[in-house]
Chain A
Amino acid sequence: MTDTSLPQEHSAPGGAPPADTLETARHRLAVRLLIPAQVLLVFIVAFPLLMQVYISLTWWSPLDGEPWYRAYDAWSWFDNYVELFRDEGLWQAVWRTLLFVAIAVPIQFALGLVLAILFYEGIAGRGVFYSLILMPMMIVPAVAGYIFFLIFQQTGPLNALLALVWDGAYGVNWLNDVDRAFIAVIVADVWQWTPLMFLILFAGLMSVPEDQMRAATILGASWPQRFRRIALPRIKAVVIIALGLRVIECFKIFDMLFVMTGGGPGVATESLSLFLYKQTFQSLEWSYVAAIGITVLVVLSLITAAILARAGRETR
């Protein structure tokens, strides 16, 4: 009886329940409040993105003397994208960037994890070290690059230090040697970004319930066993996020390289970002740069989505 009478009451003519109007009013207000942010978003994200896509489908260049919206005069369909796959300079830059990521991020992760574990176990003087360790992260990357630019000078402090134990130290040229420049840049990046790894991993470790770690200890588990069986499963999501964050950031490395080596010697330390920069401001091939930009965006988005999906699974 009640089952049939209830819906009838609601659909009775002439009387839309007041709750509904309130709901609609609230909805309208919400939409109105969101409009300014949406408009802003259109201008800073959607518009440049669409413009980028548009230009990437033409041969337009600022040297043509035509405004960008007339770029369709030089419509070229997907020529830029085809070109991109043939461009050896680009692929070398991609390869160098990947190599850089593959070396720098694992080192940052390993050092960050060791530091996090030391702090978790409570090394002496951790209050002082805590702020010291986090300091590099606060420095503007370009400034950090400049610090290391000075450190790695042939007559700089590093060689001065090495000279104490080895007479030939002043003969070592760091930033003008193909391999050494690469190492120097990795050292600088590790110095700056290990703190972030440490911070994320330490926070993760601190969230592991202490008495579970203790219960495992009492059951006879050694530190590596406790870490692997109790802590790691709980901080897996955090580890994935930390690694994902650093891989993406590292992939975009620019300012530090720009200051330290300018991509040199030759193109030995030219990352993808630096390559794009040179294409933009030296070759002025803007449509080509747009095509590369769009491609990188798509690839990185896919990778990020995969990482986030994985992290989401781990937290569940």
Chain B
Amino acid sequence: MVIEISCEEVWREISNYLENDVSPELRARMEAHFKGCGHCTAVLKGAGNVVQLIKAGTVFDLPGGFSNRLYKRLQDRLATKKPKARNY
């Protein structure tokens, strides 16, 4: 019988889960949770993508001025940021 686990506990352990650094019991609980929780599954996929990108070690040449444009865009976005709907 797999014991329940909350979203907050899953988020705390997600990087350990991706690195195979959780106990078999915790892994089973997290996997059962992912089956029923779309939000945590999205967090898992997002974190997994970041790990894959870092592992790939590919270096991209960015066009001139990219950093400034990205920074300004992030600032504009944060200034108009709205709360997101929750989808567990």
- Whether A associates with B in a native complex is no
B residues in contact (CB < 8 Å) with A: none
